[in-house]
Chain A
Amino acid sequence: MNINCEQLQDQYSDYFEHLLTPSEVEVFERHITGCETCRADYHTFATMFQFLDRVELTEVDAPAGLRADILSVIAQRPAAKVFSIKDWANGAFARPRLVWGSALAVAAVIVFAVTTTFHGPGHNTSQPGVATPACMEGPCTTVAPTPTAPAPLLQNVTLKEGTASLDYEVFTLHLPSVVASTANVSAYVLQDGDPVADKTLESDTDKATPAWSGALAPNVSLSLPVAVTSDLPAGTSLNLLLDWTSGDQSGREVAFVPVTPAPSSVSSVAANTSFYDAVRTIAGEYQQTIVADNSALSALAAAQPLSGTTGNELNAAQALQSVLGPDGFVITPQSGGYYLISHP
């Protein structure tokens, strides 16, 4: 077998580092023996490689103020501010008036703006389900819709600094690929002690604050910025309930998003704690966004109160496993940086 000059170049590094097989070495050396151009070219390459290997660069100290600057930026991250739920409920939607809220309100919020982004083919390729435009680009498995276990509606949560010292948790929503037509979506902010599986809470503003409601089409991403509250205890989480229906399909999930730093003392989850309180505590304790999907919420009636407890777990995954694992819940990390709780 012979190789040309370009193919020889592809093997320069491997030859230099003795990574070629004996037969590849033979082919390499046969070519370079007869090709003066490659011989000179490889000689330059090898000389450079040898020189690179023995370059000794001086290490320098990091600038004296670097660490202080980093810590200063971290410390200057604006603290979460409080909006009054009632201000929002009274219609101060477009330009809400700031009112410092009660520390008892765990996460009073106001919807600031909703933006949508259309996504082209490929956005849903990771989810099995009905045919999507992505299938036109390659093999696509068509699976009957499974309304009982849809993928999460929530794709991601990011923190954004707002204006006037406000911070926003931006929830990015995208319909699961099993949903082929526009869905009606409702988002609610849950407050301390809400029973997340309670179907009546939609009309009970003492338990849940409507955040947004509207239609969401497939292949559209919706950004739902929520201004978070302040003067909150350490380890507080912002908890959002998402409901969607599309024809005979429906889904429900709850996101637990930490908004204030974890408490300095470790608080464990005791036995017989409710699902909501246990997950909320872990989200705040470990500063980890956690999403309970439809299957998890459907399983709650049989599982509550939970039988597990936490001890000295190192991270949120271990803590969730300790509390929820005994009742059959499964915890999986998601690419959006959050943990998903489901119940197969």
Chain B
Amino acid sequence: MSDAFPASSQPSSYSVKTEALQPDPPTAQRVRKELSPADRALITRAQRGDTGAFNELIKLYERAVYNFALRLTADTDDAGDIAQDAFIRAFNAINSFRGDASFTTWLFRITTNVFLDERKKRRAHPTQSLDEMVTVSEGTLVKQVEDHSPGPETIATDKERTAALNRAIQKLPEYQRAMVVMYHLEQKAYEEIAEILEVPIGTVKSRLNRARLALKDLLSADRELLDS
């Protein structure tokens, strides 16, 4: 393999392709939801044992936590269990929330830990193969055993690509899956993922690159889908 090519000898098709595949940096920043004064007041009340205030906090955050859990597990029952456990853990640990992270970040950290703990237990006592968990149709997450992935002759649609992508995401190791879901589906910034996982930003970036490489390998069978 040759390492050095003079600029003039670069194939023109390559130049065109890499420009297309290195798009302009995003102008919109990934923004995190800051804690509002009203939310802060609810948290303070919950820290004093006010379950009514905690009820209000669940109302505000249950959708985000449940959807995050659903994207991690691709299973509505598992997602419900994880969301429930996460909120119970949050209630038990509410006094350890000091406001130095956003409440969403704190809740996602707990949810991620519940997910990883649950999968660890499941590995110790397996009841169902993760390969059976697949995703179909734009985020409607269901469980199915048969593989309905389209063959290469099938006309690719975004729906099929999404299904292929979600199947591949579900095959990633849990930690890599959590990172891919947080960055690409939850649109979290590297800084917030670092806070959620309590690791340095550099570690997040390098591990996410590894996760994307693994995802690319998993999708190699569906390359036609992506290229079409």
Give A residues with C-beta under 8 Å from B: 2, 5, 9-19, 29-35, 37, 39, 41-53, 55-63, 66-67, 69-71, 73-75, 159, 234, 261-262, 264, 285-288, 314-317, 333, 337
B157 within 8 A of A: no
- B140 with A34: CB separation less than 8 A: no
Interface residues of B in 87-108 (CB under 8 A from A): 87-88, 91-93, 95-96, 98
Indicate if the CB atoms of B83 and A34 lie closer than 8 Å: no
Assess whether A50 is in contact with B23, with CB atoms less than 8 Å apart.
yes
User: Which of B61-69, B119-127, B145-153, B191-199 lies at the interface with chain A?
Assistant: B61-69
CB pair A57–B208 under 8 Å, yes or no, is no
Q: Find out whether the CB atom of A62 lies under 8 angstroms from the CB atom of B4.
A: no
Give the shortest distance, in Å, between A37 (CB) and chain B (any CB): 8
List the A residue with the shortest CB-CB distance to B209. A13
Chain B residues lying within 8 Å of A60, measured Cβ to Cβ, are 66-67, 70, 139-140
A to B contact number (C-beta, < 8 Å) = 170
Contacts of A234 in B (CB 8 A): 49
Which chain B residues lie closer than 8 Å to A262 at the CB level? 48-50
Known: A12-B213, A73-B84, A75-B51. A43 touches B17 (CB 8 A): yes
- The main secondary structure of chain B at its interface with chain A is helix
Complex Cα spacing A75 to B51, Å: 9
Nearest-CB residue, chain B, relative to A317: B98
Q: Nearest 8 A-B pairs (CB), nearest first? A: A46-B21, A261-B49, A57-B139, A58-B139, A62-B66, A13-B209, A262-B49, A262-B48
Besides the contacts A14-B209, A18-B24, A316-B95, what 5 more A-B pairs have beta carbons closer than 8 Å? A14-B205, A51-B165, A57-B139, A67-B58, A71-B51
Q: Which residues of A contact B66 (CB under 8 A)?
A: 60-63, 66
Q: Are B44 and A16 in contact (CB under 8 A)?
A: no
Partner of A55, one of B165, B208, B212: B165
Tell me if B59 is interfacial: C-beta within 8 Å of chain A: yes
**Contacting pair A53 B49 (CB below 8 A):** no
Q: Is the beta-carbon distance between A74 and B80 smaller than 8 angstroms? A: no
Contact A45 B165 (CB under 8 A): no
- Residues in A with CB closer than 8 Å to B33 are none
Please encode chain B, from 198 to 228, with 1 for each CB lying within 8 Å of some chain A CB and 0 for all others. 0000000110110011011001100100110
B35 to chain A, nearest CB (A): 13
Taking a contact as CB atoms closer than 8 A, the residue among B5, B14, B47 that contacts A287 in the complex is B47
Task: Look across to chain B and name the residue whose beta carbon is closest to the beta carbon of A75.
Answer: B51
B125-167, CB under 8 A of A: which get 1 and which 0? 0000000000000111000000000000000000001100100
Partner of A50 from B21, B91, B206 at Cβ < 8 Å: B21
Chain A residues, CB < 8 A from B83: 62, 66
B215 to A48, Cβ gap below 8 A?
Answer: yes
Which of A48, A73, A333 is in CB contact (< 8 Å) with B98? Answer: A333
Residue of B nearest to A31 (CB): B3
Q: Given contacts A30-B4, A39-B14, are A16 and B22 in contact (CB under 8 A)?
A: yes
